[in-house]
Amino acid sequence: MARATTLTPPVTVPAFLRLSGHPVRWQLLNELARGDRQVRELTASVGQRQSLTSYHLKLLRDGGLVTMRRSSADGRDTYYSLDLSACRELLGAAGGALHPGLAPPGPPPTKGGRRKPTRVLFLCTGNSSRSQMAEAILQHLGGAAVDVVSAGSHPKPIHPYAVRVMRKRGLDLSDKRSKHLDDYAGQRFDHVISLCDKVREVCPDFPGTPSVAHWSIADPAAEGHPAFVRTAEELETRIRFLLSALGCQPTE
């Protein structure tokens, strides 16, 4: 007697694999993993027509992997950002769908002796909120593994809401001062990160070959206190991923 054949039920391909499996979309994700990009920059990097690039970006946006917002430097431009938290969640779900042991582990702790701190420079226009907050968060989470400073193209006093929001997170900005980016001209950094669309346009070159990235974050001063809270949350998320890329464990 012939043995009955058991049919395997249809398998649903995990969302992350469906979205990232196309070569153009995978290339777009790789570009955005390095920093926020304008659509014309992404079009040039993937070597496709802008209409096709926009089509794939829409699929990534609809799938929750990519977000977009209008540039604060030129409202005709749009910046695309990779949602790292969503990618981590969907990637973990994809691995776990195949086998529980394939869920990605967290970053290993740094081993070995002391190493030279990684130098990071955060830039925005006024050095009054975003870059100051980023400096404080990274220095707090990175500890001795990082040496962090911030500056602006047109420095102005630190915004009181930035001081208030950081104080609630246990970080004190009350004695900080704004610095001009010229103060750091000629210095060497491992990473230079612009947080403002306007300062990106005037960011000078620094000696050596620093890793240069842009995080397109809206100026919270234009919206009020709740925007400062959201900005702090977004900065901490991005900075924790930055520490992972540096091979550092957050101090908390």
Catalytic residue among 136, 196, 232, 246: 196
Determine whether 248 is an active site residue.
no
User: Has 124 been annotated as catalytic?
Assistant: yes
Angle at 228 between CA 251 and CA 136, to 5 degrees: 30
Tokens of 171: 């970080």
How far CA 71 is from CA of 36, 125, 199, 221, in Å, comes to 11, 14, 12, 16
Strands (E), the chain: 37-38, 66-70, 78-82, 118-124, 146-152, 191-194, 211-214
SS3 state at 75: coil
Apex 160 CA angle, 202 and 80, nearest 5: 40
Instruction: Quote the CA–CA distance of 103 and 101 in Å, as a whole number.
Output: 6
Catalytic hit among 203, 221, 227, 229: 203
Measuring CA to CA, how many Å separate 193 from each of 83, 97, 166? 17, 36, 20
Closest CA to 87 of 14, 37, 24: 14
Closest CA to 161 of 189, 132, 203: 132
87 is catalytic: no
DSSP 8-state secondary structure symbol assigned to residue 69 = E
Active-site hit among 124, 173, 192, 217: 124
Polymer length of the chain: 252
Catalytic residue IDs = 124, 196, 203
